[in-house]
Amino acid sequence: MDLLKGEGGGKMADTEEQREIDTINNMTQHEMARLWRYAPAGHPYFDKTKPYWEVFNKRFKGFTPQISKSIDGGG
């Protein structure tokens, strides 16, 4: 199954998972960086037992200096 492309089964739970995967796939790098830095402990996107982590981890390319400054209010 290729989670980045949103392929999966047709069960009801898969629909919820697919919505979250689509959300991740539509996030900007800035949105992902902000979530990475400020998400509360236990956020499902960072739970390695869920498929969201794999998708998020493959898409998130890290922080640029510009993103870090904009998120932290520096500049």
pLDDT tens readout for residues 62-72: 999 999 999 98
The burial of 55, by beta-carbon neighbours within 10 Å (0-12 exposed, 13-18 middle, 19 or more buried), is given as buried
pLDDT tens readout for residues 27-50: 999 999 999 999 999 999 999 999
The residue with greater pLDDT, 29 or 11, is 29
How would residue 74 be classed by pLDDT, with cut points 50, 70 and 90? low
Q: Which of 2, 55, 1, 64 is nearest to 29 (CA)?
A: 64
**Which pLDDT does position 1 carry in this prediction?**
45
Confidence (pTM): 0.76
Q: Are 3 and 21 in contact (CB under 8 A)?
A: yes
Q: How many residues does the chain have?
A: 75
**Which pLDDT does position 14 carry in this prediction?**
85
CA angle 62, 51, 20 (to 5 degrees): 80
Domain boundaries, the chain: 3-72
